[in-house]
Amino acid sequence: MREIISAFFRERSAVNHHLASFNDFIPSPENPFSRMQMVVDEARLSEDSSERGVIKLDVEKTKSSIYVRVGRRRDQRTGAIDPTAEPTIFVGPLQGKQPVDTKPAISPPTPMEARLRNLTYQAPVYLKVTVVENGVERESEMVHIGDMPIMVRSRLCSLSKANMERTCGMPLTDEEYRARLMEYNEDPYDPGGYFIISGTERVIISLEDRASNRIFAELSDRYGTVPIESARIFSQRGGYRSPLTVEKKKDGVLQVSIPSTAGQIPLVILMKALGMANDEEIEQAVLAELLPLDEPFVQTMKHILNVNLEDAASPKAYPPEGISTPEDALLFLEKKFATGQAKEYRTKKVAGILDHLVLPHLGDMPQDRLKKALYLGRIARTVLELNLDMRKEDDKDHYANKRLKLAGDLMEDLFRVAFTMLLKDLKYQLERSFARKRDLRVSSAIRPDLLTQRMVHALGTGNWVGGRAGVSQMLDRTSYVSTFSHLRRVTSQLTHSQPHFEARDLHPTQWGRLCPNETPEGQNCGLVKNYALMVDVSEGADDEEVALVLRDLDTRDLGSQMASEKGSARGGKRAARVFVNGNLIGLHPDPVTLVAEIRNRRRSGNLSPALMHRGSEINVRYDESMNEVIVNCDSGRLRRSLIVVSGGVPRVTRQDMDLLAQGSMTYSELVRNGKIEWLDAEEEEDALVAIQAYETPERCPECSHTLSKKDVQWQNAGSKDPQALLKCAFCGGTFKSSLKISKDTTHLEVDPYLITGVAAGLIPYAEHNSAPRNTMGAAMAKQSLGLESVNYRYRPDTRGHVLHYPQAPLVATETQRYTHFMERPAGQNFVVAVLSFEGYNMQDAIVISKGAIERGLGRSSFFRTYRAEERKYPGNHDDRFEIPRPDVAGARVDTAYRHLAEDGLIFPELAVTEGDVLIGKTSPPRFLEEKTDLLTPQKRRESSVTVRAGEGGFVDSVTLTDGENFSKLVKVKVRNERIPELGDKFASRHGQKGVVGLIVPQENMPFTRDGIQPDVIINPHAIPSRMTVAHILEMIGGKMGAKMGRFIDGTPFSGDREDAIRDSLREMGFHSNGREVMWDGLTGRRLRGEVFMGVIFYQKLHHMVANKLHMRSRGPVQILTRQPTEGRSRQGGLRFGEMERDTLIGHGAAMVIKDRLLDESDRTVQYVCGNPSCGHIAIMDSRARALRCPVCGNTSAIYPVEISYSFKLLLNELISMGVVMRINMEDIR
Amino acid sequence: MEIQIQELSPKKALLKFSDTTATEVNAIRRSLVSNIPKMAIDDVEFHLGTVHDDESGRDYDLSTSIFDEAIALRMGLLPVPTKPKSFRFKDKCTCKGEGCEHCQVIYTLDKKGPCTVYSRDLVPLGDPELAIADPDVPIVTLGARQAILTYATAVMGTGRQHAKWQVVHAVGFTAQPKVTINKAAGCSDACLKKAGSICPTKVFKAGDGPLEVVKEDACILCKDCEKACSHGSIKIDSDPTTYLFTFETDGSMTAREALRLAFENLVAEIDDLRDAVVSLG
């Protein structure tokens, strides 16, 4: 089935979720209902204004009726958007920003230009506004309202294939497209899917959230020991989210909790306040379709409901007369939430609660209240069902109850807030200018910076609207895998510090959706996840259309004729409730047929003409135990792809697979033809998925070659034959094997290895490892150095690494083909022996051959980019790139500037070390003063950029360009060769990490009779307790691959078999167990045992000694405390901590303690007044040149005292609080 | 010690040392690896900036996708032909370390892209016989507007200093394997045949007759055959006085020359040691 996967990745990039989501957000002619247009259509200035997409100017201020329409025209009667109306919001195309004085237009920026010039990769946003004055519509006007950051490789990006084809005016093949990308200095394999904000690449991390507008039954135990049945719903409308809880108290009364209101409201009262006048209506709302009424549980439910109704009506509980009418209920709420306020305010407050805080997803207008009352009845019903054991607690961690928010969704939240802000400002500006000069020009009233700044700031810092932080992160460019994995990351909303054990557990529904292995260790474990390889995030289809389809298929409205016919159903069953996106829309007498019919129509693509493109987005499930049909078509469901099986026969046939392999069939054709479909976690509950279609024999019955799962071809796929006909890849012979698909099977897994993500998918034979090692292996792959991109010489990353001789792993996996790991590898194939060597590889250390290092093993280069800008300051002052003259304040000695050219910049390829000046720069004085007699005018300050402490290397490149504000911007990249040294960290792909413990001259390394010497020697103790069996397998696999000159397939579950490798090893003249007779390089004697040696892919991790090496004898101190600074970057001191101090106390080494803690820290000598009644710190009076106590005036008995400066600070601080601090001294006896 | 030459081609040698010990053979091996003097590129001067090509009228940037220090490392590893006695160590040369034709070789490399630069593109100043021994080593691939212009200086060194001065590679030896078939009681020809067939290096030959040892030297001492015959008919042993010795050179000198130099060095070292001991009194 590997043909399907490769066809899938021919069609879709691995970051498709980001691109698709962003494309859906951006308006375009093909997408009239873009998220942005919807935000504009729905825009409102205040929560209670009824008109959307319109700014209404204040009548009092303008004395006339003026409004500005920004959204699309609406139908006068229904208020719905006129589908023929012209769009009102437009983005792009990208524009070059140019200084005023340059005449030729600047070409639109490319991502690389944005990176180099610290620009934001953004396109202008235009809004079409129409002013209507006293009913007269003026001509609409197109105004620039701001700039929108553009996702790289999205529809608007100049590098997207469609745009490239447009600029060169012809269709491009993949090859040509890649060549064009390289002309733009872009890596052809760069996945895109990120933004560039002020030159830095930022990703929007997918956010995992509880599904909104869905009722969750749960037992809450927050009131002590007895769990209380409750139902919660996160009601969401637009960006606004409001949870609501209904609980059944011990006395049977149902209480509702609403956010930002104190206390709880009895359900019945709330329903009445929402306009449900009589008790029958309430009963109907709760019990609704639950007919016939004679069943015992219905009676119990009715009883509980009666308790509630009586409670509300009881004068005792709610004096004076109980609550029976909506008016009573409203008065009760007014009293509860706005006691003692004016009547007008009270009414408004309660209306606000009912319309905005209660179930906002049903609407926020007074006319929506009845709907809300009905819905509350449904929630109450859920609580009662839970109470009567008719339903179980909902599983919050079930993936059917989770939704993902992608870049588009989050950008929508951001745009909504920014756009509303812009409109508010526009209204204010228009009112002002109209009042002044009766001017109504929108273009002059609008402030585009408002929107731009808001968007750019949020993306640049990750601080999103709603107070969420870390939504956008700096793209991890350590290696290609880390970039890929970062773009496929999912974080949970849950706070990372709380335990949440259930939420962290791997849930069965995550199978095939999220990687089971790739998650961080520690506090974020299980909360930060990554996509599995082949997933899709639903984009959503119109639920009203779906409801129409369901009605068409005989779903009856609640309370209709059919429903009241005592719920008559076929086969004696009650009619099933039908839900669309969690909303009950009706009943159906024959749910099984309904579900089958929907699936059939979905597969054949004729659900409804309106759902043409989005038909496959719909997932459906029949929950037998609850007798519910659940139809989902909302966005953010994480889905996986499965082969459809009907009647024990998979729909994908041999012929299909051959066509896919030839490339004459596409993956989406398979989906269109109903051969493959995407299932969400909900629908998968209904499916029976076969993992493998047939049994693969261990050896070919024809040629007796060992067979792995990939070595056979299923010849009769798609036929009704009860046995599988398999073809051996070695001899070409065919044979029969038993099928593992039964008549009940509904789906077939495409390939089991798809459950892993991009990082865990790199681990060969991962199914042989213990799970934690795979998790560690996946984590370490993201720290490995390799070829992160091919444009590394152009990229201005602040920090970057590149491995000199990256190699594709000899033991490869299928995943690597789709993550381009073979083209952008991060590691090398090492010859590794498992052996103890003089004890220098104890505790996971590794011994490495000097000869191998000298031939380039593990060599990498480290880049650091230093940048400086000629900033402009008020008063026509600016920074200057130059060689600072000696009269500049803080100027260095002449020789410090010897590398610089006239323009203050260094030359490329010069060797530099720490402290060398790279960019000579002077800044204007801090405080500007006129020249007076006493003060000389301040001099310009030296503000050169120098090489960081402990670093150095060669200047790689010097880039001089214009920054965002057309000030000169210079970037100097310094490169440093990193040759493996003692303490550098290396790791295999199996979580086996270690640091270099010894570098051995080549002649001392053990050797075989053929003269083969290992590059690395690892300790045998590293293997057994960790159970990294795949490490062993990879070693022998690599050995065979190296000898035979081919790649070994180590794909989990279907790679080359162990016996096949062992057989080949023997054929190649090695012992099949991989062990070899070795001879000691020092003595020449034979090593006692045989040594296990093989070839395995090792990664150099970015933790290198050169980045950590640190020492200090003298150095900077903090200004405040005069104690040594902290941290390597500030040449800080090494902390002599409490435990270290304890050891010295134990030794009685008092003077050493004094030396460490005082003399070598913040020792100071202070003069102390010897007057016994004073004892303050004295001063040296510089004019009198004498010691004097400033407090008592004493000048004679003043003594120097050695104290720590922090103690002196303490004295000062206490004195400042009015505490007298006296130091009383006496002579040492 | 007796040396029997089994195979000796310019770049490869297979020898048999008999009447010796492992330590003696190892001393030869270590001398081969680390003590043979050889020329290798040690200093590379890169030219920066742009060059103009008069023929095509194009400007080329003197920079490549690979860093200068990495190119220098690659050039260092190229095999520079080192004829016996033709060069001296720079610090022991008559020129007193200034560099002369007796202690250094200068190469020029001047290429314009697009192309792949090979070791044959390094042109020696002076004797054309000093061209790099292996002409087909790729050094760097140049893009369309890239060029490279360097001067590289090769000097004498030994493998102990850096692997680039290592003449001999893949040096290994093994004690002479001794494979004996002695049909034990209860053992059958079939059993022996089965045991012989699992040998990864095909030491045995089993035609129509009984199993016989045909390639004793190839045995890797894995003892699989020994274990395969439960009767103990096959015995694998090794002779600690006889050693099979193999090595290759990188092409900078012949295998014979390398071996001669290794012995010379070994003798010199032993002489030094003796002198040192004697001088101690």
pLDDT score for A571: 43
User: Per-residue pLDDT for A314 more than 90?
Assistant: no
B34 shares contact with chain A (CB less than 8 Å): yes
CB-closest option in B34, B46, B198 to A1003: B34
Q: Which residue has the higher pLDDT, A340 or B107?
A: B107
Sheet arrangement for strand A402-405: A402-405, A206-210, A489-492, A528-530
Query: Considering only CB atoms, which chain B residues are within 8 Å of A1007?
Result: 171-172
What band does A561 get if pLDDT is binned at 50, 70 and 90? Answer: very low
Nearest CA in chain B to A849: B163
User: Per-residue pLDDT for A212 more than 90?
Assistant: no
The dihedral built from the CA positions of residue A516, A534, A783 and A522, taken in this order, carries a sign that is negative
CB-closest option in A1003, A1065, A1075 to B30: A1003
Q: Average pLDDT, stretch B182-189? A: 85
C-alpha angle with apex A867: A865 to A870, nearest 5 degrees?
A: 165
B17 shares contact with chain A (CB less than 8 Å): no
Catalytic: A903? no
Q: Average pLDDT, stretch A273-279? A: 84
What band does A564 get if pLDDT is binned at 50, 70 and 90? Answer: very low
Contacts of A1041 (CB under 8 A, 6+ apart): A810, A811, A1047, A1048, A1095
Query: Considering only CB atoms, which chain B residues are within 8 Å of A1008?
Result: 172
Rounded Cα–Cα distance for residues A492 and A499 (Å) = 13
For testing contact with chain A, the best of B26, B203, B223 (most A CBs within 10 A): B26
Rounded Cα–Cα distance for residues B18 and A507 (Å) = 68
pLDDT score for A858: 95
Burial A143-181 (b: 16+ CB within 10 A, else e): bebbbbbbbbbbbbbbbbeebbeeeeeeeeeeeebeebb
**Dihedral class, residue A870 (left if φ above 0, else alpha if ψ from -120 to 50, else beta):** beta
Query: Considering only CB atoms, which chain A residues are within 8 Å of B224?
Result: 1071-1072
B49 shares contact with chain A (CB less than 8 Å): no
User: pLDDT tens-digit profile of A566-600?
Assistant: 444 444 557 788 888 888 788 888 899 999 999 99
Rounded Cα–Cα distance for residues B238 and B221 (Å) = 8
Beta bridge partners of A738: A723
pLDDT score for A1153: 93
Q: How far is B233 from chain A (nearest CA, A)?
A: 20
Query: Considering only CB atoms, which chain A residues are within 8 Å of B248?
Result: 1011
User: pLDDT tens-digit profile of A727-754?
Assistant: 999 998 999 999 999 989 999 999 999 9
Beta bridge partners of A245: A232, A257
CB-closest option in B70, B164, B201 to A1069: B201
Q: How many CB atoms lie within 10 A of CB A685?
A: 15
User: Per-residue pLDDT for A61 more than 80?
Assistant: no
Q: Which of these, A699, A693, A722, lies nearest to A711 by C-alpha position?
A: A699
Rounded Cα–Cα distance for residues A227 and A217 (Å) = 12
CB-closest option in A954, A1011, A1071 to B222: A1071
Rounded Cα–Cα distance for residues A382 and A266 (Å) = 16
B266 shares contact with chain A (CB less than 8 Å): no
Residue A299 DSSP label: H
Run of H or E including A1100: strand A1086-1100
Residue A1195 DSSP label: -
Query: Considering only CB atoms, which chain A residues are within 8 Å of B75?
Result: none
Helix (H, G, I), strand (E, B) or coil at A965: coil
Q: Average pLDDT, stretch B177-199? A: 88
CB-closest option in B163, B221, B246 to A1011: B246
- Is beta strand A723-728 parallel, antiparallel or unpaired with respect to A712-714? antiparallel
CB-closest option in B48, B172, B198 to A1007: B172
Lookup result for tokens 């039954």: A217
User: pLDDT tens-digit profile of A1027-1069?
Assistant: 999 999 999 999 999 999 999 999 999 999 999 999 999 999 9
Q: Which residue has the higher pLDDT, A1146 or A1185?
A: A1146
The dihedral built from the CA positions of residue A1103, A1105, A1106 and A1109, taken in this order, carries a sign that is positive
Q: Average pLDDT, stretch A1151-1159? A: 93
Contacts of A729 (CB under 8 A, 6+ apart): A710, A711, A712, A713
Nearest CA in chain B to A1083: B23
B35 shares contact with chain A (CB less than 8 Å): no
What band does A621 get if pLDDT is binned at 50, 70 and 90? Answer: very high
Q: Is the ipTM of this complex over 0.90?
A: yes
pLDDT score for A1083: 94
C-alpha angle with apex A1158: A1156 to A1159, nearest 5 degrees?
A: 80
Query: Considering only CB atoms, which chain A residues are within 8 Å of B73?
Result: 856, 859
What band does A197 get if pLDDT is binned at 50, 70 and 90? Answer: very high
Lookup result for tokens 């009605």: A551
Residue B194 DSSP label: H
For testing contact with chain A, the best of B173, B178, B236 (most A CBs within 10 A): B173
User: pLDDT tens-digit profile of A433-478?
Assistant: 888 877 778 888 888 888 999 999 999 999 998 888 889 999 999 9
User: Per-residue pLDDT for A292 more than 70?
Assistant: no
Residue B34 DSSP label: H
Structure-derived torsion over alpha carbons of residues A377, A380, A386, A387, reported in degrees to the nearest 10: -120
pLDDT score for B14: 96
Q: How far is B94 from chain A (nearest CA, A)?
A: 30
Contacts of A437 (CB under 8 A, 6+ apart): none
Helix (H, G, I), strand (E, B) or coil at A963: coil
- Is beta strand A811-812 parallel, antiparallel or unpaired with respect to A1048-1049? parallel
Helix (H, G, I), strand (E, B) or coil at B267: helix
User: pLDDT tens-digit profile of A931-958?
Assistant: 666 666 678 889 999 999 889 999 999 9
* Architecture of the B38-161 domain: Beta Complex (2.170)
Q: How far is A1121 from chain B (nearest CA, A)?
A: 45
What band does A565 get if pLDDT is binned at 50, 70 and 90? Answer: very low
What are the boundaries of each domain within chain B? 2-35+169-247, 38-161
* CA distances in angstroms from A1182 to A987, A1045, A1166, A1188, A1202, listed in the order given: 64, 84, 15, 10, 21
Rounded Cα–Cα distance for residues A485 and A775 (Å) = 13
- Cβ–Cβ of B70/A1086 closer than 8 Å? no
Q: How far is B54 from chain A (nearest CA, A)?
A: 25
pLDDT score for A835: 95
pLDDT score for A929: 61
- Of all residues in chain A, what percent are helix, strand and coil, respectively (each to 5)? 30, 25, 45
Rounded Cα–Cα distance for residues B142 and A1082 (Å) = 43
Q: Average pLDDT, stretch A1-28? A: 92
* CA distances in angstroms from A698 to A724, A730, B136, B281, listed in the order given: 15, 13, 45, 74
Residue type, A471: V
B151 shares contact with chain A (CB less than 8 Å): no
A1065 shares contact with chain B (CB less than 8 Å): yes
Q: How many CB atoms lie within 10 A of CB B92?
A: 10
- Cβ–Cβ of B220/A1071 closer than 8 Å? yes
Lookup result for tokens 């080949």: A1064
A909 shares contact with chain B (CB less than 8 Å): yes
Phi, psi of A525 (to 5 degrees): -60, 125
Helix (H, G, I), strand (E, B) or coil at A289: coil
Lookup result for tokens 């004890």: A839
A1140 shares contact with chain B (CB less than 8 Å): no
The answer to which of A184-188, A697-701, A1192-1196, B119-123 has the lowest mean pLDDT is: A1192-1196
Residue A556 DSSP label: B
Query: Considering only CB atoms, which chain B residues are within 8 Å of A858?
Result: none
Maximal CA-CA distance, chain A: 114
- Cβ–Cβ of A1007/B171 closer than 8 Å? yes
B137 shares contact with chain A (CB less than 8 Å): no
Q: Which of these, A1157, A1172, A1171, lies nearest to A1202 by C-alpha position?
A: A1157
Cα A1220 to chain center, whole Å? 56
B241 shares contact with chain A (CB less than 8 Å): no
pLDDT score for A375: 86
Mean pLDDT of chain A: 88
Query: Considering only CB atoms, which chain A residues are within 8 Å of B163?
Result: 850-851, 854-855, 1002
The answer to which of A16-20, A1077-1081, B209-213 has the lowest mean pLDDT is: B209-213
The dihedral built from the CA positions of residue A553, A554, A557 and A558, taken in this order, carries a sign that is negative
pLDDT score for A98: 55
Nearest CA in chain B to A1004: B30
CB-closest option in A851, A1011, A1081 to B166: A851
- Cβ–Cβ of A1067/B244 closer than 8 Å? no
Please identify among residues 60-79 of chain B the ones whose CB lies closer than 8 Å to any CB of chain A.
65, 67-70, 73-74, 77
User: pLDDT tens-digit profile of A242-273?
Assistant: 889 999 888 888 999 988 787 888 998 899 88
- Which one of A425, A542, A844, A878 is the catalytic residue? A844
The answer to which of A321-325, A1059-1063, B245-249 has the lowest mean pLDDT is: A321-325
A183 shares contact with chain B (CB less than 8 Å): no
Q: Average pLDDT, stretch B197-210? A: 86
Rounded Cα–Cα distance for residues A742 and A120 (Å) = 56
Q: How many CB atoms lie within 10 A of CB A576?
A: 27
pLDDT score for A223: 66
Query: Considering only CB atoms, which chain A residues are within 8 Å of B167?
Result: none
Rounded Cα–Cα distance for residues A451 and A148 (Å) = 8
The answer to which of A221-225, A774-778, A1027-1031, B142-146 has the lowest mean pLDDT is: A221-225
Q: Average pLDDT, stretch A762-783? A: 95
pLDDT score for B173: 96
Rounded Cα–Cα distance for residues A542 and A549 (Å) = 11
pLDDT score for A933: 63
Nearest CA in chain A to B65: A793
Nearest CA in chain A to B27: A1084
Q: How far is B71 from chain A (nearest CA, A)?
A: 10
User: pLDDT tens-digit profile of A133-156?
Assistant: 888 888 888 999 999 999 999 999
Beta bridge partners of A207: A405, A491
Rounded Cα–Cα distance for residues B223 and B200 (Å) = 10
- Is beta strand A215-220 parallel, antiparallel or unpaired with respect to A228-237? antiparallel
Q: Which of these, B167, B90, B87, B158, lies nearest to B133 by C-alpha position?
A: B167
Mean pLDDT of chain B: 92
Rounded Cα–Cα distance for residues B110 and B49 (Å) = 14
Rounded Cα–Cα distance for residues A110 and A116 (Å) = 10
What band does A373 get if pLDDT is binned at 50, 70 and 90? Answer: confident
Q: Average pLDDT, stretch A193-222? A: 90
Q: Do A511 and A687 touch, CB atoms closer than 8 A? A: no
What band does B10 get if pLDDT is binned at 50, 70 and 90? Answer: very high
User: Per-residue pLDDT for B121 more than 50?
Assistant: yes
- Residues B2-35+169-247: name the CATH superfamily: RNA polymerase, RBP11-like subunit (3.30.1360.10)
B222 shares contact with chain A (CB less than 8 Å): yes
- Cβ–Cβ of B160/A1001 closer than 8 Å? yes
Query: Considering only CB atoms, which chain B residues are within 8 Å of A1071?
Result: 200, 220, 222, 224
Tell me the H-state helices in A632-736: 654-662, 667-672, 681-684
